[in-house]
A and B are shown apart, each in its own frame.
Chain A
Amino acid sequence: MIRFESVTKTYPDGTVAVDNLSLIARSGEITVLVGPSGCGKTTSLRMINRMIEPSGGHIYIDDRDHSTVAPAQLRRGMGYVLQHAGLFPHRTIVDNVATVPLLLGRDRREARLKALELLERVGLPAAYAKRYPAQLSGGQQQRVGVARALAADPPIMLMDEPFSAVDPVVREQLQNEFLRLQGELGKTIVFVTHDIDEAIKLGDQVAVLRVGGVLAQLASPAELLSNPVDDFVAGFVGRDRGYRALGFENVTDLHVDPEPTVALGSSVSAAGAVARAGWVLVVDDHQSPQGWLAIDDDAVKAVTEIGPTLLHRGGTVASINGSFRAVLDAALSSPTGRGVIVDEAGRLAGTVTAADVVRLLDVHAPAPPATIRSPQ
Chain B
Amino acid sequence: MTSPAAANSGAASSSPWHFFAYFTAHLHQDLSWLWDHVWLSALPVLAGLVIALPLGWLANRYHWLYPPLLSIAGLLYTIPSLALFVLVPPLFGLKALDPLQVPIALTVYSVALLVRVVADGLASVPDDVAQAATSMGFGPLQRLVKVELPIAVPVIAAGLRVATVANVSLVAIAGTIGLANLGQLFTTGFQLSTPTAYYPPIVLGIILCVALALTFDLTIVFGSRLLTPWRRAVASR
Instruction: Give the B-binding residues of A (Cβ under 8 A).
Output: 49, 51, 71-76, 80, 82-91, 99-100, 103, 131-132, 134-135, 137, 145, 148, 158
Name the CB-closest residue of A to B236: A135
- For B141-164 the 0/1 string (1 means CB < 8 A from A) is 010000100110000000000000
Contact flags (1/0) for B207-237 with A, using CB distance below 8 Å? 0000000000000000000001110011111
Q: CB-CB < 8 A to A135: which residues of B?
A: 233-237
Which of A72, A86, A103, A132 lies in contact with B132, CB distance below 8 A? Answer: A86
Residue among A51, A72, A73, A91 with the most chain B CB within 10 A?
A72
Neighbouring A residues of B150 by C-beta, 8 Å: 90
Establish whether residues B128 and A76, one from each chain, have CB atoms under 8 Å apart when the complex forms.
no
CB < 8 Å neighbour of B136 from A83, A89, A103? A103
| Tally of contact residues, B, Cβ under 8 A | 24
Q: Which residues of A contact B136 (CB under 8 A)?
A: 75-76, 80, 99-100, 103, 148
Q: Could you say which residues of chain B place their CB within 8 Å of the CB of A73?
A: 137
| Shortest Cβ gap from B234 to chain A (Å) | 7
SS of B interface (majority): helix
| Alpha-carbon distance between A103 and B230 when the two chains are bound, in angstroms | 21
Name B residues whose Cβ lies closer than 8 Å to a Cβ of A: 126, 128-129, 131-139, 142, 147, 150-151, 228-230, 233-237
User: Are B128's CB and A83's CB within 8 A?
Assistant: yes
Are B233 and A51 interface neighbours, CB within 8 A?
no
A100 x B234 contact (CB < 8 A) = no
Closest A-chain residue to B139, C-beta based? A72
| Complexed CA–CA distance, A134 and B126 (Å) | 13
By the criterion CB–CB under 8 Å, are B134 and A75 in contact?
yes
- Interchain CB contact under 8 A, A82 and B132: yes
CB of A64 to closest CB in B, whole Å = 17
Pairs A–B under 8 Å by Cβ, sample size 11: A71-B137, A74-B137, A75-B134, A86-B135, A87-B132, A88-B147, A89-B126, A90-B147, A132-B230, A135-B235, A135-B237
B128/A85 in contact, CB under 8 A:
yes
Q: Which residues of A lie under 8 Å from residue B229 when comparing CB positions?
A: 132
Nearest A residue to B235, CB-CB? A135
Tell me, in angstroms, the Cα distance from A135 to B237 when the chains sit together. 8
B236 neighbours in A (Cβ, 8 Å): 131, 135
Whether A88 contacts B129 by the Cβ 8 Å rule is yes
Expressed in whole angstroms, the minimum distance between the Cβ of A163 and any Cβ of chain B is 15
8 A-B pairs with least C-beta separation: A86-B132, A76-B137, A80-B135, A86-B128, A75-B137, A132-B233, A132-B230, A72-B137
Report which residue of B129, B132, B228, B230 has the largest number of chain A beta carbons within 10 angstroms of its beta carbon: B132
Contact partner of A84 (CB less than 8 A), chosen from B128, B134, B151, is B128
CA distance A76 to B138 in the complex (A): 8
Instruction: Give Cα distance in the complex from A90 to B232, angstroms.
Output: 11
Query: A88 near B233 (CB under 8 angstroms)?
Result: no
Contact A90 B128 (CB under 8 A): no
What residues on B are CB-neighbors of A74 within 8 Å?
Answer: 137
State the Cβ distance, A4 to closest chain B Cβ, in Å: 19
Give the complex CA separation of A350 and B205 in angstroms. 95
Say whether, besides A88-B147, A90-B230, A132-B233, A82 and B131 are in contact (CB < 8 Å). yes
How far does the Cβ of A33 sit from chain B's closest Cβ, in whole Å?
16
Residue of A nearest to B140 (CB): A72
Asked whether A82 lies within 8 Å of B135 as measured between CB atoms, the reply is: yes
